[in-house]
Structure 1
Amino acid sequence: MEQDNNSSLTEPQEVFTPIPQARGASGGVRWLGLGWDLIKERFWMWVGVIIIYFIVSLIISTILGFIPLIGPIISPFITTVLATGLIAIAHQQYETQRMDVDNLFFGFYNKRYLSIMGAYGISFLILLFGIILAVIISGAAMMDVIYAASSDYSEEIIAEMMADNTSGFTLFIIIIAIFGTISTAAYWFVPALVLVNGYKALPAVKASLSAVKINLAGGFFFFILLLFILVVSIIPFGLGLLITIPLSYTAMYGSYRDVFYHHNVGNQGNNGGIGGNGGNGTISLNKTAESNIGKLVS
């Protein structure tokens, strides 16, 4: 996008930094706000993109489903790479205000899929370890209840057994929640870091964990608000998901843009915040910074 010299002096410049920035509790709201700004600028385009994404995902899952053993294992890895294309489209829109649907497959270019799959595998292994640990620690109590439920035990006996094993169930849920959170944190920023900045799997996971660690409050509010929005969107026959699902990806991209970029460079001193307010301002969609995505916006 062409800009005159005066606009280049006033509009925000953004420079990627490998050191994640702490954005505070308000970050979660701001990330969703940026995500919604991207959606509403190209509303019908995003609806079309998410429909195409669903159709392609269904085709991939169906085809791989016919392959015994290996197919169901490979399927989530392939669809995960496809999902990163939504991040690529969000990035292209943010940088150029254009949207090319073929960027939905950008994750498969230049062997980026290897890093994405590797990072996804690490995230999955973290969750799997948590499940195994939870089963080892509290599995005996749960197995007793499961066995009773699958047998001819009366409902009163099953309820009594569940009451007697409340601590076991609680511990199981807590362990799963902890490792589920770590698993999510390990993958949160990975798609953007791999697609935009060329990170490999392990460095991307480390950077993602580091970013989440210093933005726990913002991440907490982000997921609480996003969960609420997703639940509400299901009410009108699930049609709202056509907006809220792409919103979850554009907002995730917004979090990456906020956390891994310095904003208003040269005008904010060492503040590091958006608009010179330590991260309490807003991100403009009109940028003068050079693109970091190479072929993605070419």
Structure 2
Amino acid sequence: MTEVNPYQGPETNVTSPQGEGTFTLGGPHKVTVGQALGWLGEGMRMLSGHWGVVIGALVLVMVITMGLQLIPFLGPLAQPFITTLLYAGLVKLFHRIATDGRSDFGDLFAGFSERTGPLLLLALVQIGVYLGALLVVGGLMAISLGGSMSLQSMDPQAMSSGMGVMMAIMLPLFLIVFTLVMFLFYFAVPLIMLGGMGLGGAMGVSFRACMKNLLPMIVYGIVVMLIIMVAALPLLLGLLFVMPILAGAYYVSFRQVLTNPADGAEHGPE
């Protein structure tokens, strides 16, 4: 009996219900830092002729997200699930642009009718995993803080030194844990929405893809954070220009890392 690895991306053609494009999942492929930074330029090129539709879709996502926060109790509970479905729609929107050369605002809501169950399950698992990671890190911090407090009765200076050591250890640990958790979900939405994968397989492939490209992902993430910080300075108006580019770059990264070279994406050495 052949044993199937649930974390292996399928080597199959994937065609969306609308038939706007076919691609073949493969890899994960390894990319260079230069290729990762090139996602930004490719994301911008994708937007040519589609700026209005993409900006409108992103603004609507922001309005819906903010509106949900105004609904007592139910709004914040529903937000992660609705946001995940909308993100899936954005992926579908860029997929249509890349494969069919046209944009359809209605794709934003594709997640509410396609792959809805797995996407909602993804949102639920994501909440659980992040809460679990937060509890683990918080528990470690509480234990360390308790140890430092016990030093107070002996020597206040020793307590101050202990607090400094604790922060020096816990901050990098916090960053490492939540980066690894993020890797589980980074490519999960397009793998589920476009690739038709199940939750476990999508999370496994996403994690392997990010770990295989650890340095490019870190450098790209730092550059993106700097860009967002600069774009947010002029009353957040710069984000109207930057966020569509980042959304396009995300789709480009998925195609480059997790689809076969025959689909037209350039890949680095394996």
What is the TM-score when the length of structure 1 is the normalising length? 0.72
1:82 Cα shift? 1.5
Tell me the distance in 1 between the aligned counterparts of 2:164 and 2:204. 36
The partner residue of 2:177 within 159, 176, 179 is: 179
CA distance 1:175–1:113, shift in 2 (3 Å): farther
Stretches of structure 2 that go unaligned for 5 or more consecutive residues are: 1-20, 150-155
- Determine helix, strand or coil for the equivalent of 1:26: helix
Matched residue type, 2:85: V
For 1:128, the equivalent position in structure 2 comes to 131
The partner residue of 1:37 within 37, 45, 53 is: 45
The partner residue of 1:58 within 47, 61, 66 is: 66
For 2:153, the equivalent position in structure 1 comes to none
Count of paired positions? 243
What is the TM-score when the length of structure 2 is the normalising length? 0.79
Matched residue type, 2:31: R
CA distance 1:197–1:239, shift in 2 (3 Å): same
- Per-residue CA deviations over 1:91-146 (Å, capped at 9, x if unaligned) read 11111121111111111113x23212322333333332332222222214547999
For 2:8, the equivalent position in structure 1 comes to none
CA distance 1:24–1:231, shift in 2 (3 Å): same
- Determine helix, strand or coil for the equivalent of 2:30: coil
1:95 equivalent to 2:99? Answer: yes
Matched residue type, 1:116: L
CA distance 1:264–1:202, shift in 2 (3 Å): closer
Tell me the distance in 1 between the aligned counterparts of 2:141 and 2:64. 40
For 1:149, the equivalent position in structure 2 comes to none
- Per-residue CA deviations over 1:54-87 (Å, capped at 9, x if unaligned) read 2222334434x353xxx53332222222122211
Contact 1:92 1:99 in 2 (8 A): yes
For 2:122, the equivalent position in structure 1 comes to 119
1:259 Cα shift? 0.9
Matched residue type, 1:206: G
CA distance 1:255–1:74, shift in 2 (3 Å): same
- Determine helix, strand or coil for the equivalent of 2:93: helix
Tell me the distance in 1 between the aligned counterparts of 2:175 and 2:218. 13
- Per-residue CA deviations over 1:190-212 (Å, capped at 9, x if unaligned) read 11111111112111111101111
Tell me the distance in 1 between the aligned counterparts of 2:23 and 2:82. 31
Stretches of structure 1 that go unaligned for 5 or more consecutive residues are: 1-12, 147-156, 266-271, 281-298
Contact 2:36 2:216 in 1 (8 A): yes
The partner residue of 2:194 within 196, 221, 237 is: 196
Contact 2:61 2:83 in 1 (8 A): no
Tell me the distance in 2 between the aligned counterparts of 1:125 and 1:32. 31
Matched residue type, 1:203: G
CA distance 1:60–1:128, shift in 2 (3 Å): closer
For 1:6, the equivalent position in structure 2 comes to none
Equivalence map 1:211-290=2 (5 Å):
211-264=209-262, 274=266, 279=268
Contact 1:126 1:179 in 2 (8 A): no
Matched residue type, 1:168: M
- Determine helix, strand or coil for the equivalent of 2:260: strand
1:189 Cα shift? 0.8
Tell me the distance in 1 between the aligned counterparts of 2:167 and 2:221. 24
Tell me the distance in 1 between the aligned counterparts of 2:159 and 2:45. 51
Contact 1:23 1:279 in 2 (8 A): yes
For 1:296, the equivalent position in structure 2 comes to none
CA distance 1:100–1:15, shift in 2 (3 Å): closer
- Per-residue CA deviations over 1:152-172 (Å, capped at 9, x if unaligned) read xxxxx8x99555401212222
- Bigger Rg over Cα: 1
Matched residue type, 1:229: I
Matched residue type, 1:93: I
For 2:34, the equivalent position in structure 1 comes to 26
Tell me the distance in 2 between the aligned counterparts of 1:215 and 1:100. 32
- Per-residue CA deviations over 1:248-298 (Å, capped at 9, x if unaligned) read 222111110101222247xxxxxx972xxx539xxxxxxxxxxxxxxxxxx
Tell me the distance in 2 between the aligned counterparts of 1:193 and 1:247. 20
